[in-house]
Structure 1
């Protein structure tokens, strides 16, 4: 790690830190959770778990 820092300093590389906007944060969180939701659907298709139907969900509201 020290070698990389020294090389970056020698080559005068500058690190640019970008702040994440709220919209970018929501998009990142959605994409991060997408894999989890896809695994739940796969588990449902294998009959490992039971998912609630949209009609049942709306009836609860």
Structure 2
């Protein structure tokens, strides 16, 4: 599942901002947290601002 998540992004797109909607998703294990963090880092490395929306409270706690 995390491979499919990671493969769904193209970090070379010519965009300034990207939104990732995690509504209905629950990141509770280290693999899913790592995948989410990798996507954020890769976008930011390309100079693309990232907004993550729709995280439930349990997922928010895994980020902070």
TM-score by length of 1: 0.32
Point out the structure with the larger helix share.
Answer: 1
Give the TM-score normalised by the residue count of structure 2: 0.31
